[in-house]
Amino acid sequence: MKIDDLECLLLSTYELLDSIDPSDFSLCLAVICHVADRRFSDVMIQQLLHDNVSKSRIFLYDNLLHTRDENYNPEFSMQDHILKAFYTSRTTETTLTKPQKEVFDNFQECRRLIVSAPTSFGKTRIIREIIRHNNYRNIALILPTVSLLSEQYRDIKDSISGYVVSKTSKIKIEPDRNYILVLTPERMSAFLSENPEFHFDFFVMDEIYKTDFKLNDDRFRVFSDVLLRLAQRGSDFYLIGPYITDFSQRFRALFNAKMLKFEVEIVQKDFYFLDNVGLKGSHKIEGRFIKIVGDKFVNLTRLTSNDYIDGKFLIYRYQKRYVEESAGKFSSARSEVRWDSNLIRYLEKTVSPEWKLVSCIKKGVAFHHGAMPRHIQDLIVDEFNNSSGGGIDFLFCTTSLTEGINTSAKNVVLYDEKIGTGDPIGVLDRRNIEGRAGRFMRHFVGRVFHLEAYIENNDDRVVEIESLDSENPSIEAIIQFDDELLSEAGHHKKNQLKSTMESVGLPFEMFKENKYVSVGGQASLLKYLITSKSWEQFSFMGGMPNAEVAKLILSCIYDHLFTESDRGRNFKDEVGKSILLQLTSYYLFYKPSFTELLSSATIIKFRPKIDSRIRYIFDLTSRYFEFIWPRYIMAFQNIYNYAAKINDASPISLELMIAQLEYGTTKNHEIILKDCGIPSESIRKISNIFSNCETLDDVQRVKKLRMRNIASLLDPIEVRIFNRYI
């Protein structure tokens, strides 16, 4: 574009910024970002660009322009300074964007706010402002993934004073101290159950669309349960998520909540549709042509091998095994880059030198999925975000990296138009993935490449809560809440269920206590325990059952409480059950390291290929040992002790068994370290140093005093992990 034309464009944009139409504002930001991305040296263009930035109230665009170009030096008028001061907090000296200030001002007015806005909007940045402008004693920040949790924890820890900031639910509450708990919904649920009298004055829930029962995944119930329990206690709240059009009207009415919706993209997106079936042929990208053929992988390599398509690449694939396979295939044709020898050595030692990730990293490629341990996920993202040269430039991922995690990817490639189940991708998932293209304060424009055709449907993206909105809520949902938090259908169903239970002598409150465990499964287990009367087979001395008793308990749980989803394709029959019980017993009583699990004859027989075996162990550990078994063992304990009381038998306690599976230890100080994200292999090396610690505060105090000793026992990557999480 000629300079004269560009001046006219920027002048027109300046005038259009007076419009109150949100679509006009979005158009103006698109012009600003695309002009800024081109780095024009003309003095007049720079001045006009600055004037537009100032009038748009996205003042941080100017900061990025200064960072990218030392010759960017427009004149600042008195009006510019006054405008910026209006959007800058006197308390925190933080400059907000125009939409961010609108959110902050609305929160200060209504105190219960739901915000839908695109990625890079800066929704989480407003959290700091809310906390520092209000006199809250206890605060909860609830985030869906451990990576997001760690990121938010560090941000709050560095910027907010006067609070005990904890990302573990195992915390000793002292009445004269103020707390900010940064937890996943599962950990928050555990905290609320263990501390029923504790009151939060304010809570935040990120990725709020995950409360929607229409997702029909394994987590929506715990998300909605935590949300409703906290909201019922009269707390202020700030609920945030991307690309939703509405949020449960019943929830908003019950809790007098206001909703704001924004469509404005602070980081612009350029879209390229490169369908390998219907759109073969030449496509112009950044002024040059690329030929699209029938092979998607060939198209991917053509995209990523062109220097004029600058920036790092995030490549979405819909399943874990495809993520790993594609990364391996992609890296095989690449030359080695400069890589972190400490990271490679750490992965070889703690996982395997044969792991595909090791060879991928050496080629500047990596993969990321939800089954991987949290510390490895974060190490990979750190390496990807490293801008000092070398490292990882191409990261293959599932949705594990598209749910709010900040990366330095300028380019996002949707290799598949599916989700993990194989179903077509919905609008919310697709837009969430697309939203990862470009990062605020690093890019003005991101690129999105679609390598398959997708159907543009009109999903309304309305978030609904099962107990409030569903016309046919599950029994597991309706028993959890009081009548005012149930839909009419739920209220009717709950009364019927209560009557049925009372008529056959089933304990309604006990079923309620075992949150979201199948009511039918609980009834089946209770009937079995009462009628079998083989109490002695479940009795044991000491705090932990022996291997024989533990296996009986696990078998009982599998038979009565496991759902089809819990069994999955790996453990769906008697052979699968036998393998799961054998591996669980081995993990429970022999406490093997990851490398010892990897060399287990049972697992080798079941998964002979090394990468498949590693992925299998990751999934086994994170899904079964740390999540499914602990939840069901606690339910078994409650049901068993109810039945035992009826039959005058002795109660049992399975707390140590649960802790050993969930944390890999029964020692309190090791549980705190594991809850923070420290891997078991590292904990074993430094456990004695923290043996007298009872709280996270104690752990942090000992860290300050003995960090040199701690560092001498850990390798460099373990030190990095330790400093990140503690």
Query: Sorting pLDDT into bands at 50, 70 and 90, what band is 721?
Result: very high
How far is it, in rounded angstroms, from Cα 272 to Cα 258?
Answer: 36
Please report, for the chain, how many H helices and E strands are present, in that order.
34, 17
How far is it, in rounded angstroms, from Cα 62 to Cα 78?
Answer: 16
What would the mean pLDDT of 624-633 be, rounded to a whole number? 95
Q: Where are the domains of the chain?
A: 3-80, 98-261, 268-450, 481-514, 517-663, 668-725
Fill in the DSSP letter of residue 703: H
Asked whether residue 519 carries a pLDDT value surpassing 80, the answer given is: yes
Contact 599, 569 (CB under 8 A): no
Tell me the CATH class for 98-261. Answer: alpha beta
pLDDT on residue 368: 94
pLDDT on residue 646: 85
What would the mean pLDDT of 671-693 be, rounded to a whole number? 94
pLDDT digit string (tens) for 228-261? 999 999 999 999 998 899 999 999 999 999 999 9
The length of the chain is 726
Q: Look at the alpha carbons of 388, 392, 394, 395 in this order and tell me if their dihedral is positive or negative.
A: negative
Query: Sorting pLDDT into bands at 50, 70 and 90, what band is 496?
Result: confident
- Percentage with pLDDT > 90 across the chain: 65
pLDDT on residue 92: 76
What would the mean pLDDT of 285-311 be, rounded to a whole number? 93
Contact 102, 115 (CB under 8 A): no
Task: Specify which of 327-331, 367-371, 508-512 reaches the highest per-range mean pLDDT.
Answer: 327-331
Contact 701, 724 (CB under 8 A): no
What would the mean pLDDT of 304-333 be, rounded to a whole number? 95
pLDDT on residue 459: 64
pLDDT on residue 146: 74
Asked whether residue 343 carries a pLDDT value surpassing 90, the answer given is: yes
Cα 414 to the chain's mean position, in Å?
20
The CATH number of 268-450, from 2.60.40.10, 3.40.50.300, 3.30.470.30, 3.40.1280.10, is 3.40.50.300
- Percentage with pLDDT > 70 across the chain: 99
Query: Sorting pLDDT into bands at 50, 70 and 90, what band is 482?
Result: confident
CA distances from 108 to 131, 142, 165, 201, 202 (A): 11, 20, 23, 14, 12
Q: Which residue has the higher pLDDT, 387 or 95?
A: 95
Stretch among 179-183, 323-327, 647-651, 683-687 having the lowest mean pLDDT? 647-651
The angle formed by the CA atoms of residues 89, 92 and 97, to the nearest 5 degrees, is 45
Query: Sorting pLDDT into bands at 50, 70 and 90, what band is 404?
Result: low
Query: Sorting pLDDT into bands at 50, 70 and 90, what band is 32?
Result: very high
pLDDT on residue 102: 93
Q: Which residue has the higher pLDDT, 454 or 192?
A: 192
Q: Do domains 98-261 and 268-450 have the same CATH topology?
A: yes
Contact 394, 304 (CB under 8 A): yes
What residues contact residue 362 under an 8 Å CB cut-off, 6+ apart? 336, 337, 339, 344
pLDDT digit string (tens) for 428-472? 888 889 999 998 889 999 999 999 998 776 666 899 999 899 888
What burial class does residue 594 get, using C-beta atoms within 10 Å of its C-beta: 0-12 exposed, 13-18 middle, 19+ buried? Answer: middle
239 forms beta bridges with: 114, 205
Q: Which residue has the higher pLDDT, 119 or 61?
A: 61
Contact 203, 140 (CB under 8 A): yes
What would the mean pLDDT of 75-101 be, rounded to a whole number? 84
pLDDT on residue 600: 92
What is the pLDDT of the chain when averaged over all its residues?
91
